[in-house]
Every structure is written in C-alpha cells, then in structure tokens.
C-alpha cells in the first residue's frame, strides 16, 4: 500500500494523532504526514503511506494556502485564540479597510519572521515551547520566508473594543501564520492574534477533495481504499521533473551518478521519471545528477 492521502484534519487532533489513527485503520506502521498543523487548525494534511514516506521531506517543500481570521485589540501568549491574553488596546473605529490592505501588502515577498515561543523550533537542543512553558523567553534567529499573496477576504468589522477580518495567505513552508497575524497587528499599531485558521491547499492537494478519518474507515470497510489513495507523484508536486532515457534510468536505478547538462539549481532535489513513472529523487550537482532516494 503506497501513496498519498489527502486528509481533512479536524479541530482537536494533532497531526501525529491523525498518523496514529491511520496506522490502525490501514494496518501499517509506514505512515507519516507532510506539514504539521496545530490542534486548533483544520484543513488539508497530506499523509504518506508505504514507499511515499520516503518522500515526506519533499511533500513539505512547496507552498501552502491558508484562510483565517485576525482579531485586533488583544494579543495572547500563544498568538492564537487558545492562549492567555497578554496585552489589549481599544481599536479605533477610524481604522479603515484601506489601512489594513496597505499594511498587508507590505508583507508580500521575501521577509524575515521570528518563530513564536510556542513552536517546535529547537534552540540549544530544546523546543521553544518547552522554554515558554517554563516562563522563559529565548532569543530567536529570524527566518526568511516568502509570502506570495496576502489578502483580506471580508469587511473589517468592529465588536466593542476589537476589530476582525478574514484573510487568505499563500506562503512558503516554515511560515507561522499566527506570527504573521501578530506582525500585521503591530504594523497597524494594535495587539492582535490569529483567531481562526484553516489550510485549504498543500502540495497540490485541495480541501475540496480531502477525506476525513471517518471517510477513510468507510472506504476501507467497503474495499474502496484505492479510490482515496493518490499516487506517488503527489509527493513531488512542488519539485522540478525530468525524464530519463533507458541508459540513464539503468544507472540511476543502480545508484550511479549520471552526467546531466540541464541543471536547474545545484544542490536542489529533482524528481526523475522513466516511461512516465516516478523513479525517485536526485540531487543536482555540477553537470550531474546524484541518486538520493530510489523507489524502484
């Protein structure tokens, strides 16, 4: 059983919870996910099964699309709706949608983002959330991320002392949407947090075709798992692809480097095919390809 599942992760589940549940449903230990979602976040969770687990690192290589909500007026220690309020400020009704749109536009492109304290990023061998739970704030190195688009989806509305609006963001891996919401609020001079989030696309998989765990169980019981499994190609959607001739295929299959002139980017992975079938992943060198993970 090899392939990709487009799972709809429901609120309250960790990404690892989903993997453990699927191991039981599918009766296999070779299950892993591509791209962690926080428990409160819903939406697309790409899951690899069998041989596809060898491609997990590439499943998280491409961009993702999220839709959510920013609440202006107070911030929380976790930067989302789950945390304790740490700062508040009355949002002025003079704030306009044009102000919000202009501020959002400044985040589009390659930017630096400081990982939140409540995250799994490791510093000196410990995860940041471990420091946070102990009441410690650790200096963090900013990371470069790409915001491909960031747009407001709903009117800016006011409810007492706070303001809210929905958004859509297309971004690179490693982006913390919670932090983006906080940084946007700071740009508008207000404490803020991400009050809701859903991932609508990841690795070419869209929320419209995602299956719940219950639906996967039903497909198993009806003998229709083949209808929900996607082939290995979906694990490398975001990688450049090339086709091999027979001689190149034989060498790559046997773990040999091959000469290759049309290098796209040295050091970067490339999905290689033979007769339209995925052979594996090669890394690009100086006019050569080096086998990295062969699936044949």
Question: Has 238 been annotated as catalytic?
Answer: no
Determine the Cα–Cα distance for residues 180 and 161; give it in Å rounded to an integer.
Answer: 21
Exactly one of 2, 17, 38, 251 is catalytic; name it. Answer: 38
Q: What is the pLDDT of residues 75-116, one digit of tens each?
A: 999 999 999 999 999 999 999 999 999 999 999 999 999 988
Helix (H), strand (E), coil (C) string for 224-272: CHHHCCECHHHHHCCCCEEECCHHHHHHHHCCCCEECCCCCCCCCEEEE
Class of domain 239-294: mainly beta
Confidence band (pLDDT; 50, 70, 90) for 263? Answer: confident
Determine the Cα–Cα distance for residues 47 and 159; give it in Å rounded to an integer.
Answer: 39
Q: What is the pLDDT of residue 108?
A: 98
Confidence band (pLDDT; 50, 70, 90) for 132? Answer: confident
Instruction: Please indicate whether the domains covering 64-199 and 239-294 agree at the CATH topology level.
Output: no
Class of domain 64-199: alpha beta
Please state the pTM of the whole predicted model: 0.90
Taking every pair of Cα atoms in the chain, the longest distance, rounded to a whole number of angstroms, is 70
With vertex at residue 197, the alpha carbon angle to CA 195 and CA 203, rounded to the nearest 5 degrees, is: 160
| 215 DSSP assignment | H
Domain ranges within the chain, ordered by starting residue = 3-61+203-235, 64-199, 239-294
Q: Hey, what CATH topology would domain 3-61+203-235 get?
A: Pseudouridine synthase (3.30.2350)
């Amino acid at each position: 059983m090899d392939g990709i599942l487009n799972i709809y992760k429901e609120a309250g589940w960790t990404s690892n919870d989903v993997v453990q549940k699927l191991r039981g449903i599918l009766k296999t230990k070779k299950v892993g996910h591509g791209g962690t979602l926080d428990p409160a976040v819903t939406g697309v969770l790409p899951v690899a099964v069998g041989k596809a687990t060898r491609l997990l690192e590439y499943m998280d290589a491409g961009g993702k699309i999220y839709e959510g909500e920013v609440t202006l007026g107070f911030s929380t220690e976790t930067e989302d709706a789950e945390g304790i309020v740490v700062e508040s400020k009355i949002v002025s009704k003079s704030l306009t949608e044009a102000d919000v749109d202009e501020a959002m536009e400044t985040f589009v492109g390659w930017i630096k983002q400081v990982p939140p304290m409540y995250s799994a990023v490791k510093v000196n061998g410990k995860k940041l959330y471990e420091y946070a739970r102990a009441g410690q704030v650790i200096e963090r190195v900013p990371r470069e991320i790409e915001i491909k688009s960031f747009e407001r989806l709903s009117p800016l509305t006011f409810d007492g002392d706070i303001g809210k609006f929905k958004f859509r963001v297309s971004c690179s891996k490693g982006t913390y949407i919670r932090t983006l919401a906080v940084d946007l609020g700071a740009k508008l001079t207000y404490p803020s947090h991400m009050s809701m989030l859903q991932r609508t696309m990841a690795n070419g998989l869209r929320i419209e075709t995602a299956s719940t765990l219950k639906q996967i169980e039903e497909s198993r019981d009806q003998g229709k798992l083949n209808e929900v499994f996607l082939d290995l190609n979906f694990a490398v959607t975001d990688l450049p692809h090339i086709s091999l001739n027979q001689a190149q295929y034989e060498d790559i299959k046997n773990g040999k480097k091959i000469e290759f002139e049309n290098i796209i980017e040295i050091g970067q992975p490339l999905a290689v095919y033979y007769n339209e079938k995925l052979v594996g992943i090669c890394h690009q060198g100086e006019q050569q390809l080096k086998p990295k993970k062969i699936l044949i």
